[in-house]
Amino acid sequence: MIKTTDLIQISSLNFSYGESEIFQNLDVGFSAGKVTAIMGGSGSGKTTILKLIGGQVRPQKGRVICDSKVVNHMRHNELFAHRKTIGMLFQFGALFTDLNVFENVAFPLREQTALPDAAIKDLVLLKLHAVGLRGASRLMPAELSGGMARRVALARAIALDPSLMLYDEPFTGLDPISTAITGNLIRTLNDTLGITSVFVTHDIKASFKVADEVVLLSRGCVTARGKPEDLMESTDPLVQQFVNGEVDGPVPFHVRSRSYREDLALVQSENLK
């Protein structure tokens, strides 16, 4: 599942949160210069992959390689430098509520560079123009719609011209028009800036319009990887269940448990104590 053209390579990786196992011997890569969607059911580890790429969490086994550097072996200073090459769009934008739109986008430039105010002003207006919100620079976050707030957060994420963009559920909570606008921005920015983009989503329709490749996760591993049309034509029952949103299929409705009779007997014995 890893190709030589992959900017990010995750190999032989095991990861758990305490006793909860998320990945077992995971192998997956993300192509340089492409837009890749990570999909899968809730709890399949989609957002965890973003955290592994950014070095927020470290695997118990295996390697996370980004641009030929092993992320999970990085020291503090190396990790800090690595994160400066990444733009991150959080699920609900995570704007600073006490700063206006302009200052939200200017924040990483003020924190991470020594640019003069005039240069920062030019860059902020340029980034806002790229997401269609140059005219909203003086608004406060509370005055923005959900779609506008997501676009401001995107302008802030690209403020330092990252080579890699990560998106955590970029379409969540958006109306159809805002979803289409956000998807178009992801595609346009990736191609215009010549970067690599990876996004986590449940939105089949929006992601298939945007992504070059789709990675489908299930049961701690990659179930399928390919172009959107490849997944649409797949005969794999699990892929079909997810793509078509079917109730019946390999992914069960009930969480694995004891038999109903055993559970009732256990409750009765506890009530007698």
Q: Looking at residues 158-185, what average pLDDT do you find?
A: 88
Per-residue model confidence (pLDDT) at position 98: 93
Q: Looking at residues 235-242, what average pLDDT do you find?
A: 76
What is the spatial distance between Cα 154 and Cα 89, in angstroms, rounded to a whole number? 6
Per-residue model confidence (pLDDT) at position 198: 94
Q: Looking at residues 226-243, what average pLDDT do you find?
A: 81
State how far the alpha carbon of 49 is from the alpha carbons of 46, 84, 141, 176, 178, in Å.
5, 18, 29, 27, 26
User: pLDDT tens for residues 65-82?
Assistant: 998 889 999 999 999 889
Would you call 186 exposed, middle or buried from its count of C-beta atoms within 10 A (0-12, 13-18, 19+)?
buried
Per-residue model confidence (pLDDT) at position 253: 42
What pTM was computed for the model? 0.80
pLDDT band at 46 (very low <50, low <70, confident <90, very high): confident
Q: Looking at residues 243-266, what average pLDDT do you find?
A: 63
Are 228 and 214 contacting, i.e. CB atoms less than 8 angstroms apart?
A: yes
User: pLDDT tens for residues 126-161?
Assistant: 999 988 888 989 999 999 988 889 889 989 998 998
Q: Looking at residues 186-203, what average pLDDT do you find?
A: 90
Per-residue model confidence (pLDDT) at position 120: 93
Asked if residue 248 has pLDDT above 60, the reply is no
DSSP structure string for 63-91? EEEETTEEGGG--HHHHHHHHTTEEEE-T
What is the spatial distance between Cα 186 and Cα 78, in angstroms, rounded to a whole number? 28
Per-residue model confidence (pLDDT) at position 3: 66
- 154 three-state secondary structure: helix
Asked if residue 113 has pLDDT above 60, the reply is yes
Are 213 and 1 contacting, i.e. CB atoms less than 8 angstroms apart?
A: no
Half-sphere exposure of 174 (CA within 13 A, CB side): 25
Asked if residue 185 has pLDDT above 80, the reply is yes
Strands (E), 107-200: 164-168, 196-200
Are 108 and 99 contacting, i.e. CB atoms less than 8 angstroms apart?
A: no
Q: Looking at residues 52-58, what average pLDDT do you find?
A: 91
In this structure, what token pair is assigned to residue 198? 């990876």
Backbone φ, ψ for residue 256 (5° rounding): -55, 135
Lowest mean pLDDT of 2-6, 53-57, 102-106, 169-173, name the range: 2-6
Per-residue model confidence (pLDDT) at position 131: 87
What stretch(es) of the chain map to CATH 3.40.50.300? Answer: 6-85+162-271
Averaged pLDDT score across all residues of the chain: 85
Domain 6-85+162-271 carries which CATH code? 3.40.50.300
- 7 three-state secondary structure: strand
